[in-house]
Amino acid sequence: MTSRFALSLLLAAAAAGCATAPEPPRPQATVAEEPPTKADVWMRVANAEDIDRIRRLDSAWEQALADARRAGAAGEIRAEGDLLRPGAALPRPAPTPGSYNCRMVSLGQANARGKAFERFKPFFCYVEVEGELLTIVKQTGSQRPAGRLWEDDDANRLIFLGSLALGNEEQPLAYGENSARDMAGVLERVGPFVWRLVIPWPRGDSKLNVFELTPVAEQPAAAGASQTRRRSART
């Protein structure tokens, strides 16, 4: 009888121990969030229409050059060399801050009013540092593009997001304030001290606008350059 009682106590104690023993911790699923890519950053700023324009850059080159050649501008295209060669981008696309000679070539007919190939008179523009970004500002003329340059996953180009200042406006609108003024494109280096800003599917009569940037021979002093930019915004 005593043995049975003792055995019962032992079994009860064992059962109680099994009932109160803590369960081992269960593994928790963890999701590692990847940091944003360079393209993710500028795409958070750009609107959907401009993201689509940049994605269709190759198509803009193809159609615009085809239009120009059909219009008899094949010789002019060859004369422009790498400026109008789609695959001409070189490493290290960031331009040096300073004053530049800029000229525009428009290609392709977006409508019946447009010309398939047209060169424009050169003007001045300025590249400067704004925080961690570079900016480009056209200094003269009645239509003055201005915007910021963003790094991209493609190391051979920078993404341009900006807007167009008109007439006597002292400051361009910030990108996104007026979609009719917004501009988007890519900046590439295509030679020693030669850059191009390519605007695909611009809001206008062309299919592609290409701005050539070359540094001016004599760079203005920093203070003088700032005054020049302020004056040019009023011209």
Domain enclosing residue 104, as ranges: 38-232
Assigned domain for 142 exists: yes
Assigned domain for 121 exists: yes
Phi, psi of 52, rounded to the nearest 5 degrees? -65, -40
CB 161 within 8 A of CB 136: no
Residue identified by tokens 């004056």 is 231
Count of domains for the chain: 1
The pLDDT value recorded for residue 78 is 97
Assigned domain for 105 exists: yes
Residue identified by tokens 């099994």 is 18
This prediction's pTM: 0.79
Assigned domain for 131 exists: yes
Assigned domain for 4 exists: no
The predicted-structure confidence for 213-229, as pLDDT tens digits, reads as follows 999 988 776 544 444 44
Assigned domain for 88 exists: yes
Assigned domain for 190 exists: yes
CATH assignment at residue 218:
2.40.128
The predicted-structure confidence for 12-48, as pLDDT tens digits, reads as follows 445 455 445 566 777 666 666 788 899 999 999 999 9
Assigned domain for 24 exists: no
What DSSP designation does 11 have? Answer: H
CB 133 within 8 A of CB 146: no
